[in-house]
Structure 1
Amino acid sequence: MDGIRWLSAESHFDLGYWVVFARGIGPEELLDRMGVEAGSVRRLDRFDAGDLMDELDTAVLRAGESCGWAFAVAEGGPGGTNSSQALSSASAGSEAVEFWRTVNQDKMFAYARNGEEVFRCEPGQVHPLPTGGFSPDSVSAASLGLPGTAADTAIGSERDALTVAEEVFGLNLPKDEVLEGVLLSAPLP
């Protein structure tokens, strides 16, 4: 398993990335929940997806599945997309986790459950954590090893956020499949 920590150091995403994971659904369902048009779905490698992104001037999601989670990844960050709304839609009846980084090094880590965002923070910034944590109710900020109190907590870096999510949720983004494989793909409207 590759985990997801590799995203923080991967030079292939020097222009940024956006990845959304949703538990217990397939890649097609995740793309649908994120608002792509059914007729626009096709299988693309990352280079063809990049060409389509340049042609249409919109994010192109590439989707797959690993370890019980569907994933959708786009190069360049979420762009003009309302990532909070996409995350909430992805989590309907389940749970979803989101990460993004832009070319300007803006970063975000968020978690939603049953269509509602529970937690969102910019790694390195202080944000309140919800009482009771942000994963199964038994997981709390203290059990994640995060510094501070519930009202004053920071996840130190992008790698810290990816590590926490990888360990708490068991997330995996298959590196070879994402970088070299052909995945279900569609542009965001």
Structure 2
Amino acid sequence: MADITRQGAGDGARDCDGGIQWLADWSAWYVGLTFARGIGPEELAARLGALPDLRPGPLGAIDAWSMVTETVDGDGVARVGSWGGWSFAVEHGVPAGAQRLAEVSRAGAEAVYLDPQPDHPPKQFAYARDGELVCCFGIGEEHWRGGHRPDFLLPELVEAKILTPDGCYARPEDEPYEERDRLTLAVLEHRFALSLPRRLVEETPLPAFVTCTH
């Protein structure tokens, strides 16, 4: 697969719309985002359940959403690429990343999943490595953590003053949710060197696959 995204800036590349903190201000965040390190974009699509006989070609976000309406219930459309040392999938419709993250990370890979949960907040984060769900929590509910190592990011969350050392929530109750979300996204951005320009998610035609979550 030809890489249609930028490679020249190296791992952890940033530009004016890089990083992932912009997600805190994006009112149209309705797509799941799966990042994988150690595998390429096509392999990421395969591990997300891509149907081998459905390759609709490069699609932008609008065309991907249109295709979602043509798939069967339980299917989604994943647009894939690479950026800053990670493969990524922009998942429209039913996201496979939530159910398949451990599978995505098997055989020594790493995977990060961000789910906007627009109909059932809060937004969700999960991290898996080598076939194991390491850590997960709701953004804004970091004091309720799951996974095999729920305290994996506790030092970073304490340093950012999101949690206290004993794992309790440390933010003001009346803090605007955009500011709260940005703090946690900044922790994830820094810890995993995540970057995904907004234009890739919203505009750029990317190789697309139909994924099955059944």
User: TM > 0.5 between the two?
Assistant: yes
Q: Which has the larger radius of gyration?
A: 2
Inter-partner Cα distance in structure 2 for 1:102 and 1:46: 18
CA separation of 1:150/1:76 partners in 2, compared to 1, >3 Å: closer, same or farther? farther
Partner of 2:19: 3
1:45 aligns with 2:60: yes
Contact 1:22 1:30 in 2 (8 A): yes
Structure 1 residue 75 displacement after superposition: 3.6
Partner of 1:31: 45
Deviations 1:158-184 (A, max 9, x none): 323321111111111122222111111
Contact 1:45 1:180 in 2 (8 A): yes
Partner of 2:11: none
Structure 1 residue 132 displacement after superposition: 6.1
Paired amino acid for 1:74: E
Partner of 1:17: 31
1:68 aligns with 2:68: no
Count residues with an aligned counterpart: 181
CA separation of 1:76/1:8 partners in 2, compared to 1, >3 Å: closer, same or farther? farther
CA separation of 1:10/1:116 partners in 2, compared to 1, >3 Å: closer, same or farther? same
Overall identity of the aligned pairs, in %: 34
Inter-partner Cα distance in structure 1 for 2:140 and 2:119: 15
Q: 1:94 aligns with which of 104, 109, 114?
A: 109
CA separation of 1:141/1:70 partners in 2, compared to 1, >3 Å: closer, same or farther? same
Q: TM-score, normalised by structure 1?
A: 0.82
Inter-partner Cα distance in structure 1 for 2:43 and 2:206: 14
Q: 2:130 aligns with which of 110, 114, 126?
A: 114
Partner of 2:181: 158
Q: 1:103 aligns with which of 114, 118, 127?
A: 118
Contact 2:34 2:97 in 1 (8 A): no
Higher helix share: 1
CA separation of 1:128/1:100 partners in 2, compared to 1, >3 Å: closer, same or farther? closer
Inter-partner Cα distance in structure 2 for 1:174 and 1:51: 22
Q: TM-score, normalised by structure 2?
A: 0.73
Moved more, 141-150 or 159-168: 141-150
